[in-house]
Amino acid sequence: MSLKLKALLKSPWVFHLSTGSCNNCDIEILDCLTPRFDIERFGMLLVGSIKHADVLLVTGSCNRMSVERLKVLYEQVPKPCLVVAIGTCAGSRGIFKDSYNCPVPLDKIIPVDVYIPGCPPKPEAMIAGVVKLIEKVGGSK
Amino acid sequence: MTFVYLLVFGFAATAVLGLITSWIDRKVTARVQYRVGPPFLQPFIDIVKLLGKETLIPAGASKGTFLIAPVIGISGVIAVATLLWVNQFFSEGFMGDWIVTIYLLAIPSLSIILGGFASRNPLASLGASREMKLVIAYELPFILAALVPVINAHSIRLSVIIDSQAGGVFAGSLSGILALIVAILCVQAKLALVPFDIPEAETEIVGGALIEYSGPGLAIFRLMKNMLFFTLPFFLIILFFGGLRLNGINILWTVLEYVGIVAIITVIRNTNPRVRIDQAVRFFWGPMTLIAIVAVVLALKGL
Amino acid sequence: MEMNKTTFDQLHGSIDVVAKRKGGEKLFIDLDICNSDQCDECVIKCSYFYHHVNNGMISLIELATYALICRQCEEPHCVNSCPRDALEKIENGDTLVRHTALCVNCRSCSHACPYGTIYPQIVPYLANICDYCSDRGDYTCIPTCPYGALSSVKGKVEGENIFELGNRLVVHSTHWDRSKA
Amino acid sequence: MTREEVLLDFTSRFHADILDLEDKSNTRLYVDIKPESIVRIGTYLFRNIGARFNIATATDLPPKIEILYHFILEDINLLISLRVFLDGEKPEIESLAKEIEAFNWIEREMSELLGITFIGHPDPRRLLLADNWPEGVYPLRQDYEEWDNTSDRTRGV
Amino acid sequence: MGKTIIPIGPYHPLQEEPEFFTLTVEGETVVDIDMRMGYNHRGIEKLSEMKTFENSTFVVERICGICSTSHPYAYTRAVEDIFPMEVSMRSKYIRTIIAEGERIHSHLLWLGLAGHFLGYNTVYMWAWKLREEILDVMEILSGNRNAYAMFKPGGVRRDINAEDIPISLKKIDSILPTLDMLKKAVLDDPVLHARLKGVGVMSYQEAIDFSALGPTSRASGVARDVRKDSPYGAYQEMEWDMIVTKNGDVFDKAVIRILEMFEAAKIMKYCLNNLPDGEIDAKIKDVPPGEGIGHIEAPRGETFHYVKSDGTNRPVRHKVRAPTFMNLPTYKATIKGQTISDATIILAAIDPCYCCTERIAVKDGKGRMLYNGQDLIRLSRSKTEKIRQRMGGR
Amino acid sequence: MSFNLIIDALKNPNGFFASSPLSLLCAAFAAMFFVFAVIYSLKHMKGRTGLWRYYIYLLATFIATLGILFSTTFVLLLVLWGFLGLMLYLLISFGNNEGTPESARKSLVIIGGTDVLLLLGIVLIWRIVSGDTGLSGFLHLKFGNLAIPLTGRGQIIAYLCLASAAFAKAGAMPFHTWLPDTARDAPVPVTAYLPASLDKLLGIYFLARITLDVFVMTPLMNTVLMALGSLTIMAAVMMALVQHDLKRLLGYHAVSQVGYMVLGIGTGNPVGIAGALFHMFNNTIYKSSLFLAGGEVERRTGTSDLSKLGGLVKAMPLVFAAFLIASLSISGIPPFNGFASKWMLYQGIILSAGSGGLWVLWLVAAMLGSALTLASFMKLIHTVFLGQPSEISQKVIEKKEKSGFSTLLPLTVLSLLCIGLGVFAWKIPFADYFSPEVKGQVDFPGIWQSGLATMMLISGLVIGFLIYLVGTLKKARIVEPFVGGETLEKNPDMRVSGVDFYKTIMELGLLKGIYRWAEKKFFDLYVVAGKFVAGFGIIFSFMHNGILSRYFLWFIAGLVVLCIVLI
Ligand code: SF4
Ligand code: SF4
Ligand code: SF4
Ligand code: SF4
Ligand code: SF4
Ligand code: SF4
Ligand code: SF4
Ligand code: SF4
């Protein structure tokens, strides 16, 4: 594994992208930052600008407004970057599958690296998911 | 010879110390917030990681300025740091290097501003303009505060300032204390830390001037900020504590002074909300300038 | 209104649409055709479009089935088998009622009924409803039944196995009669 | 003011505009009114009686479209719902938003989701739907059909 | 002079949810604001029409994660309003407990985020640390941290175990002193005063005109609270105060939220102590045609649901009006003349969240997972592998 | 009368002209600017009417300047001085702005007015020095080695009269108000040529001459000068911060920079004065560079209204580079030339420490002035070159026109000078040029080690680039800027023009009032005096209506009256 990748895995900065979610997933993401879970332990930081991001945490069911913007935004992340679909919504649109305003599932828009199911997934699950992702990326190299 | 100092101290040592300082800052912050905080090497890893990432250039922006801005910034810091180190260990500064230091310290802000402006992003422009306003705000009290040691030492030569504190540090006098307080707050603003993180205000303007930077560019900026995080307290120590005294028990004092300044900065940043830019300007031009003027007058009176 | 007590009216609309239909037109269903081999699945197009994929006919068939074909067992297996207590045998009304808000479409009742009364199709998860096309013009469903089971009639219709259910529906069905059993 | 007084005052004042009145329960009241009088009655309720505007709900009940304007009188805990019926082909009604700010968004929403035209609305832009949503397709109409053949109704993954 | 527009959003760290505000500014002063919504619109109202009354509860719960109690509460009240029915006292108490628990966690969440927006991350961390405790209580009581799934038309879905009550009470009691400390830390901080006082003032009349709700209006002296005005649940059973202040600025909005937490804790404790016995679910067998409304006081103000039924087991029309829908436009009134820095905190003071404002998500019913975690991970692995190959393998 | 004088002078040059190293240097600079002005005008002034007159005026100005620089008698200087004012008026009138006639008139009145003061001063000196020696004595009054002590009232008035003429020419407070207006309304090469370069050279040269050669300064006078200098720095730069017009903003900086020179001369010690003189040269360099670059912007976009500009770097990268270098110079960022001279000034200020603690004030004003200068130039850079392109600049960018030789040549030379003079500052033989003037060894307490600092900066740059190289610069990818997921293309309104950057500061308590006054021109001597004089009615309106001939009438009448009164 190259040094670059190693460093990437040790300091993944996450950017949170909500595409029409119910807030719950988003709140739980923020929760990960807070004292009980404190993802800064793993070097993760929540960043404000997508250009600083290494990991995109996508939540929500990709409504029509988001679809185009998602594509644009995905362009704007510096590669290498990983995409994590958080919650059932992002994974499969869950309950919103038939909504007139949620035309396409997330993975038809941008490539997704890992899915963390749950509605909302518990913070523990998110951390576990991201750690798994890291292991996977690290291991597969 | 200069080059050796330059590379060894100006860059490498400053960078390492700066990164460690930034780790201390993050760790203390985390502890204050009941968190564990990042592992020790985290700032280093961040930089390495950023270096490995792609450089993105905003469409329609001025490519050259955008890319060169971080370099300008870091060269400014390296120059300051070298100057300080040279004065610290070799008493080899030149006349008036105090002025040069103050001017060079403006270069990092300048680079951020240029970079922000070159990003062609409204938010970056806004952030850069705020940085600019902040610079003019804190520059006044900062110059005044930095003048106090000059008045005390009757010289604008840093090595003289260091030497004349052999008997007793300036921070021990009334004017010194006042000036130190002002200077620390100005440093807070120079480092763009809460409550003066207005130019970067993540939750208002999304990282402000740095919004468009990614990869190496961002790495350089972060490195620059971390180096400043070491350089500025170092400057204060030179001005008010007679520099690093690396002999005997004084080592302990020096470390205490340094950690003390960093700790004050960190604590301030964790116990305050961000102020508005106009409040910041008012704060620096009002009470801070007043205190600084009092300090200067006291210093002129020899207190 | 008595709480939680479902009446016929409640189920099928308190909006009295009869007055708005001229000439007291009634909908006629030949339930024998519906239940024969001819028709596997109801295919009519219902004009009641508040709900997606609504097929009002099914609710009418269900209604008629419970009223006419069901044996009204003393010990109804269907009611006993329902895990959600959605089926209720109304004593004085002599009919079976399915509470749609409770039914979860598990179809236990279909299996449980020894007489095969409850067709799986007539216990859908999302309930259907027919409002007799209130004032929207002619019944849309009639021409769309390929088997001719539906028609509209006026006045009183006489004949064997023809029953009136309420004042809007006429059904032809081979009625099971306890007295004849 | 008690409930009776309010009702009396209200009904006597707008006698000609009220088509029907349904007293549903002691906290609910439905008033059917003529569409053209909505602005007068709405502003009267809001400004003079001091009712708070809850929301308006529009429903497509072919061939008509129904709008219910819910006002609540908090002192006496009475929710008055003004009901108007509009023609489903060409639904149009005076806008209340030009009088009262609170109606602004909900009218925008109704007009884009149900295609109701609010005459004189100060800011008749889209509120919720995406930019690429076609004109003249109203998702909350009963006859709404999926228009976008690129959409994918599978579960994904 | 050409106008300058500063975008806030749609994807902005200020907001967990995408929403697009454009501030027209002169220098740093905001002269106008426009909002573009729709980034969160999921068509819930339409979805709701495709689901049964009971299933709709789940969709309604997913209108929003923070109000995952308020919406189901209002919705079930709307369904219960269609025909006269009463739910049992026990279930009312349980509903009240959950609703107030949610109020505490929501206000804490707001407090933390407000601190975060101000760059005061310590408040953010502390408030959220405290919030974890309340979430624990909720987990004890309902089995989940949020999205409790406790509500159903006619009652509640789950009972509260007797043995959980003392544990929860103890936890709530242990939170209060910390909360008190936080209150002091926030309300006495001079810098916060400087930042918040006199900022984003909404006058009484504006609050009326915009029909503002909840803390947003109560801060302007408009004493509106559905819990008092149109009592429901167990609220008339005990004494509690409605907090009203006069200044209408951001600081007052914060004060109200903080003080409300204490009231909420009081109510919760009362309900837990005096939980009556009885059924928890009055089974609804059929929903007759008709329409009903339900409105309850959510943390952010009145949540209003309207349900129209035609006698089947699904609604003909389900309209959701969340408090933010009414509160957000007030932003327009309060923000003019303020600076950009204040704009964000003013926005935050409304405690906006848009998922509800854009509700209209659609209910389709089956919230089932098609894959379990392992499957997903396996799938994602193979997918990533594919992607990697596609991208040229690296 | 003056005609005779010139004839005399031509007949006997040695009696009237003399050169010193400083005046030679000034002359060299003047020559350079003359050449640049001509070259630049070739393109910039194309298509205007009466161009031959324009070039003749330029040439005449140049010659007059040389005359002033080398003249040794007061009266010759006065005549040429007045002539220069006239030329300025004529040249400004070539501008085609709405406000041009008014601005031309304003500058003429102020400069002409101070010319009268100059005359008054000369007459006073003549009376002090030589008593009644008749007109010819007056005509041949030389100003070398007079050493008049500033003790009596007459002496002080004389000094102030002469100084005000210098101030007005250089544009120092309180006679500065013509400058920003002129900068806005005059053709750019004229601004770059006259107010930004020659007038500075002459004004400060003259100020230095009278301060050093004619009078002996007292500490009080020095303090007055320093106070005026500091005031000029601060006030002008504060005004510059909030300007909405490119050229006007530059004009205010032209004022503010003069403050430094006045401040330097006021220090009264060799270092300070040498610094001031050095700053004078530096100033002319970067200032004309700025004006020329600004002029290019205006020519291409057709406007100098800042809110209509933006993003021009794509259209004129080289102009931007020159502008950037000049901005950094003027803000005194090391290692550019502005810093080198400012550094000397600071030394001078600190050395003047004898005069109590006030030096702190001057130092802070000077240093803060630099910060504010930087701020306003950052605003310019953003508003004009960086940032989002506006509609107009979009069109300019699409046109893909290249800046021509006539623009780039002056800019390149000036930029190189900016860097060169800064980096090699310590190599410049100050002693040779300045010592004779400053009367005493330029005794530096330390030399600006620009070499060392430059080296450090350059190494820093190298390290920075190395870091880049370690990173993946090669793989740079161009993407849309991140504005929260929206795109700028779809939202052209999302443009921060920068015009209002410092509005916040403008709205701060006390400053707000001051700015409001300034906007109402309460500080504008011309307007204030105008209002005052308006009370006297006729004279003013006569003067104010002033066409050139009337001005002449007025000038000569004044002269005559004065002569009669005094003789
Ligand atoms: S997965 Fe669930 S919690 Fe997450 S956004 Fe979707 S509905 Fe909300
Ligand atoms: S109505 Fe027609 S289509 Fe429907 S079940 Fe009966 S026979 Fe079949
Ligand atoms: S078991 Fe069959 S026959 Fe008996 S009551 Fe039930 S449906 Fe009717
Ligand atoms: S299908 Fe419905 S009625 Fe039949 S057993 Fe199942 S729940 Fe009961
Ligand atoms: S169909 Fe499903 S829900 Fe119904 S009984 Fe069978 S397993 Fe249970
Ligand atoms: S009568 Fe109308 S509503 Fe009833 S089934 Fe036929 S088409 Fe449907
Ligand atoms: S107001 Fe709306 S978005 Fe906000 S928490 Fe409540 S339901 Fe959710
Ligand atoms: S979907 Fe199934 S497993 Fe998931 S929460 Fe609901 S009942 Fe449990």
In a domain, residue D145? The reply is: no
Q: Name the strand (E) or helix (H) holding B25.
A: helix B14-32
Determine contact, residues C121/C40, Cβ cutoff 8 Å.
no
Q: Is the dihedral of CA C28, C32, C37, C40 positive or negative?
A: positive
Question: What kind and span of H or E run contains D12?
Answer: helix D3-13
Looking at per-residue confidence, does F430 or E35 come out higher? E35
Give the residue, B274 or B228, on which the prediction is more confident.
B228
pLDDT value, residue F132: 57
For residue D58, the surrounding DSSP H or E stretch is: strand D52-61
Residues 6+ apart with CB under 8 A from B17: B230
Q: Cα(C106) to centroid of ligand 5, in Å?
A: 4
| Alpha-helical regions (H) of E118-225 | 121-142, 164-187, 190-196, 204-209, 214-218
- What residue ranges in C42-128 does DSSP mark as E strands? 87-90, 95-98
Instruction: Report the nearest atom of ligand 7 relative to the CA of E64.
Output: 8
- Does E34 touch chain F if contact means CB atoms closer than 8 Å? no
First to last CA, chain C: 37
A15 beta partners? A56
Q: Beta strands of B48-182 (E only): which ranges?
A: 54-58
DSSP string, B35-47: -----TTHHHHHH
Q: Which residues of E touch B122 (CB under 8 A)?
A: 4-7
The encoded tokens of residue F472 equal 């993946």
- What single-letter amino acid sits at B75? S
Structure tokens at B137: 């705000």
Residues D70/E306, Cβ–Cβ less than 8 Å:
yes
Is F538's pLDDT higher than 60? no
Instruction: Say if D133 falls within a structural domain.
Output: no
Residues F76/F67, Cβ–Cβ less than 8 Å: yes
Alpha-carbon distance of E208 to E206, in angstroms, equals 5
pLDDT at C17 over 60: no
Residue F502 has pLDDT above 80, yes or no: no
In this prediction, residue B158 carries a pLDDT of 76
Q: What is the largest CA-CA distance in chain D?
A: 62
C149-163, E269-283, F341-355 — which is least confidently predicted?
A: F341-355
Average pLDDT over residues A74-84: 79
pLDDT confidence of residue F556? 66
Q: Cα separations (Å) of F110 from E254, E278, F164, F165, F298?
A: 59, 96, 10, 9, 27
| Domain coverage including residue E51 | 44-325
Q: How far apart are CA B221 and CA B226, in angstroms?
A: 9
What integer pLDDT is reported at residue E366 of this predicted model? Answer: 30
Residue A14: pLDDT over 70: yes
Q: How confident is the model at residue C3 (pLDDT cuts 50, 70, 90)?
A: very low
Cβ within 8 Å, pair E11-F484: yes
E382 and E251 belong to one structural domain: no
Residue D58's domain comprises 3-89
Q: In angstroms, what CA-CA distances link F218 with B81, F147, F152, F159, F205?
A: 42, 12, 12, 11, 20
Residues in chain E: 394
Tokens of D41: 């009655």
Cis peptide before F101 (omega within 30 of 0): no
Higher pLDDT, residue E341 or E124: E124
| Token pair listed for F169 | 């020419």
For residues F182 and F356, the model is more confident at F182
**How many structural domains compose chain E?**
2
| Residue among E142, E148, E369, E370 to mutate when testing ligand 8 (max atoms within 8 A of CB) | E369
Shortest Cα distance, chain A CAs vs residue B36, angstroms: 6
pLDDT of B190 reads 82
- Structural domain contains residue E260: yes
Under the banding of pLDDT at 50, 70 and 90, the label for residue C19 is very low
Chain A touched by F485 (CB under 8 Å): yes
Please, are residues D116 and D139 in contact by the beta-carbon 8 Å criterion?
A: no
Residue B77 has pLDDT above 60, yes or no: yes
**pLDDT one-digit tens code per residue, B235-246:** 888 888 777 766
Please list, in sequence order, all residues whose beta carbon lies within 8 angstroms of the beta carbon of residue E351, skipping any fewer than 6 positions away: E106, E110, E215, E216, E253, E257, E299, E300, E324, E327
Distance CA F163, CA F180 (A): 20
| CA C109 to ligand 4 centroid distance, Å | 6
Handedness of CA E151, E155, E157, E159 (dihedral sign): positive
In eight-state DSSP terms, residue D134 is P
Of all protein residues, whose CA lies closest to atom 5 belonging to ligand 2? C42
Q: Are the C-beta atoms of residues A41 and B38 closer than 8 Å to each other?
A: yes
Dist CA D99 CA D6 (whole Å): 22
Task: Look up residue F170 and give its DSSP letter.
Answer: H
Looking at residue F408, its pLDDT comes to 77
Res. F542: pLDDT tops 70: no
Confidence at B301, pLDDT banded by 50, 70, 90: confident
Q: Domain locations in chain A?
A: 18-137
Tokens of F42: 């070739």
Non-local CB neighbours of F420 within 8 Å, separated by 6+ positions:
F337
Q: Does E339 touch chain B (CB under 8 A)?
A: yes
Q: Between residues 128 and 187 of chain E, which touch chain A (CB distance below 8 Å)? A: 128-129, 131-132, 145-147
Containing B63, the helix (H) or strand (E) segment is helix B63-90
Give the per-residue pLDDT at F472.
59
- Of the pLDDT bands very low, low, confident and very high (cuts 50, 70, 90), residue F540 is very low
Which helix (DSSP H) or strand (DSSP E) does residue F524 occupy?
none
Q: Could you tell me if the CB of C47 is within 6 A of ligand 5?
A: no
State yes or no: pLDDT of B143 exceeds 80. yes
CA B98 to chain E, closest CA, distance in angstroms equals 33
Reading phi first (left if > 0) and then psi (alpha if -120 to 50, else beta), residue F216 is in: beta
E103: nearest Cα among E230, E268, E276? E268
Average pLDDT over residues F311-327: 80
Among C34, C36, C55, C122, say which to mutate for ligand 2: greatest number of ligand atoms within 8 Å of CB: C34
- Same domain membership, residue E343 and residue E333: yes
Average pLDDT, chain C: 75
Q: Is the CB of C108 under 6 A from ligand 4?
A: yes
pLDDT winner (highest mean) among E71-80, E200-209, F37-46, F557-566: E71-80
The answer to whether residues B146 and B239 touch, using CB atoms and an 8 Å cutoff, is yes
User: Could you tell me if residue D43 is left (phi over 0), alpha (psi between -120 and 50 degrees) or otherwise beta?
Assistant: alpha
Closest residue in B to E199 (Cα) is B276
Q: By the 8 A CB rule, do F325 and F415 touch?
A: yes
Q: Determine the Cα–Cα distance for residues F330 and F311; give it in Å rounded to an integer.
A: 22
* DSSP 8-state code for residue F487: -
The tokens describing F354, both together, are 């004898």
Residue A120, pLDDT above cutoff 70: yes
d(CA A50, CA E302): 35
Strand partners, E298: E301
Average pLDDT, chain F: 71
Question: What number is the average pLDDT over the span C97-103?
Answer: 81
Share of chain F above pLDDT 90, in %: 0
Residue D65 included in any domain = yes
Higher pLDDT, residue B293 or F464: B293
Mean pLDDT confidence for F417-437: 64
Structure tokens at B281: 């300007």
Residues E182 and E220 in one domain: yes
Q: What is the DSSP string of E231-285?
A: --TTGGGS-------SS-SHHHHHHHHHHHHHHHHHHHHHHHHTPPPS-SB----
Q: Where are the domains of chain B?
A: 2-301
pLDDT value at residue E373: 35
Q: Are residues E231 and E88 in the same domain?
A: yes
Return the exposure string of B71-83: e unless at least 16 CB atoms fall within 10 Å of the residue's CB, then b: bbbbbbbbbbbbb
Considering only CB atoms, E125 lies closest to which of B33, B206, B276, namely B33
Are the beta carbons of F491 and E9 separated by less than 8 Å? no
User: Which has more pLDDT, F472 or F232?
Assistant: F232
Question: What is the C-alpha separation between D152 and E266, in angstroms, rounded?
Answer: 49
- Could you read off the pLDDT of D23-68 as tens digits, one per residue? 777 778 888 888 888 888 888 888 877 778 878 888 777 777 888 8
Q: Is E44 on the interface with D (CB under 8 A)?
A: no
Question: Is the per-residue pLDDT at F178 higher than 80?
Answer: no
Q: What is the CATH number of the domain that holds D39?
A: 3.30.460.80
Return the pLDDT at E391. 41
How far apart CA C70 and CA C67 sit, in angstroms, is 7
The pLDDT of residue A30? 78
The answer for residues whose C-beta is within 8 angstroms of residue E176's C-beta and 6 or more apart is E262, E265
Measure in Å the smallest separation between the Cα of D37 and chain A Cα atoms. Answer: 34
**CB B18 within 8 Å of CB B230:** yes
The answer, yes or no, to whether any atom of ligand 1 lies below 6 A from the CB of A106, is no
What average pLDDT does this structure show over F123-132?
68
Cα dist from E56 to B166, E154, E225, F3, F404, whole Å? 78, 13, 26, 103, 71
Residue D69 located in a structural domain: yes
Q: What is the pLDDT of residues C108-117, one digit of tens each?
A: 888 888 888 8
Contact D144 E81 (CB under 8 A): no
Does residue E2 lie within any of the structural domains?
Answer: no
| CB nearest A104 (choices: D130, D133, D152) | D152
**CA gap B246, E32 in Å, rounded:** 58
Mean pLDDT of E375-394: 43
Q: Give the domain A18-137 fold.
A: Rossmann fold (3.40.50)
Determine contact: E238 vs chain A, CB below 8 A: no
Mutate to test the pocket of ligand 5, among C84, C105, C106, C110 (most ligand atoms within 8 A of CB): C106
Angle at the Cα of F23 from the Cα atoms of F19 and F161, rounded to 5 degrees:
105
Answer yes or no: do E37 and E52 share one domain: no
- Looking at the fold, whether E48 and E95 belong to one and the same domain comes out as yes
Q: Which helix (H) or strand (E) holds D21?
A: strand D18-25
The reported pLDDT for the residue numbered F126 is 72
Ligand 5, atom 6: closest residue by C-alpha: C106
**CA atoms of F217 and F262, how far apart (whole Å):** 14
Please count the other Cβ atoms lying within 10 Å of the Cβ belonging to residue C89: 18
B266-280, C9-23, C30-44, F198-212, range with greatest mean pLDDT: C30-44
Q: Cβ distance F127 to F76 under 8 Å?
A: no
Q: How far apart are CA B192 and CA D49, in angstroms?
A: 54
Indicate the number of domains in chain D. Answer: 1
* Residue whose tokens read 């107030």: E100
**Could you give the ipTM of this predicted complex?**
0.74
Residue E278 falls inside a structural domain:
yes
End-of-domain residue from the set E309, E325, E341: E325
- Beta-strand relationship, B54-58 and E315-321: unpaired
Closest CA to A118 of A86, A83, A74, A96: A86
Is pLDDT above 50 for F40? yes
Q: Is D21 part of a structural domain of the chain?
A: yes
